[in-house]
Amino acid sequence: MSWKKLCRALLHPHISVMMALVPLSGAFLVWAMVCRGTESAVAITSYVVAAYTLTVWCFRVPVLIRYYKTFKSQNRYARLWLDNRRLRVNVSLCTSLVWNLSYALLQLGLGITNRSFWFCSLAAYYFSLAVMRFFLVRYTFRHKAGENMVLELKKYRACGIVLLVMNLALSLMIFFMVYWNRTFQHHEIVTIAMAAYTFTSFTKAIINVVKYSRLGSPVYSASKAVSFVSACVSMLTLESTMLTTFEDGTMTLAGRQILLGVSGGAVSAVVIAMAVYMIVWGTKRLKQEKING
């Protein structure tokens, strides 16, 4: 076999090999870092395997893009999903509702069992998100976007009011983080995975807020505003987790409290500003609808 064919075989392996490399290299990397240390020979080998896996998948990106375009245009279920915005919003809201409700019940159970205001404040926050998403998904299942603008504006304004109430639970969470130093601590690998997920969710939330604001549906805009607020709070929780997990003694407790206090105040201010805007804008549009009607 020539060098050219060998390089081609290494950079363009069979798709079954590529699929197997993803879980194997991921498991090998985690095992090496957790059990052997980040500077061991086994860990360095896992880095090389992970880099190779990423490289071969990057070489397949053009092929994957062409396959995606073909699949999107020819598969009727894919066309139904991509062309039906209402379906995508409903699935997103239902998924978020189930997650919020389940997590809120878990935190409430922990709060009752441990008699902890910290867990109860988390439960109140996630219950507030669940309430908003329940009313939004109830509307989107019954009505199309823009079908009843007055009712949509009322839902939009109501979400702003709930956000203001929810800010009380958020303020309690920030107080516990800063004053009582209540934070989460996970393994470094788990924290890095949380960071990747949180930053992806935050970026997606910002894009969706801008994207859905152009559709002219207050209910759709409200659903994405709720997701953005949730992403902001997740960023604050991530910051607290990273400060605790990667603590090396260089930052004092007072410095950590100041950093969390400033970040928490900024998140709370964003939530209040968004809630006030939704209330004021929704009220203004409702008056215009009544005049025009």
Q: State the pLDDT at residue 186.
A: 59
Place of tokens 């080998």: 45
Rounded CA-CA distance 209/11 in Å is 39
Q: State the pLDDT at residue 192.
A: 72
Rounded CA-CA distance 12/89 in Å is 38
Least Cα distance to 85 among 228, 272, 202, 211 occurs for 211
Q: State the pLDDT at residue 187.
A: 64
Q: Could you tell me the two tokens for 201?
A: 């969710």
Rounded CA-CA distance 108/118 in Å is 10
Q: State the pLDDT at residue 292.
A: 65
Determine the residue type at 253.
L
Query: Using CA of residue 233, residue 90, residue 145, residue 127, what is the dihedral sign?
Result: negative
Query: Using CA of residue 40, residue 44, residue 46, residue 47, what is the dihedral sign?
Result: positive
> Could you list the pLDDT tens digit for every one of the 293 residues in the chain?
566 776 777 777 777 877 888 888 878 777 777 776 667 777 778 888 888 888 887 877 777 777 777 766 777 777 777 777 777 777 877 887 888 788 788 878 877 887 777 677 778 778 888 888 888 888 878 877 767 788 888 888 888 888 888 887 778 777 777 776 666 665 666 677 777 777 877 888 888 778 777 777 788 888 888 888 888 888 887 777 777 777 766 767 777 778 878 888 888 888 888 889 888 988 888 888 766 65
Phi and psi at residue 38, to the nearest 5°: -75, -15
Q: State the pLDDT at residue 249.
A: 66
Residue 197 · residue 131 · CB < 8 Å: no
Least Cα distance to 234 among 273, 275, 272, 200 occurs for 200
- Measured over all CA atoms, what is the biggest interatomic distance in the chain, rounded to whole angstroms? 80
H-only helix segments in 143-252: 149-179, 188-213, 218-245
Half-sphere exposure of residue 105, counting CA atoms within 13 Å on the CB side? 5
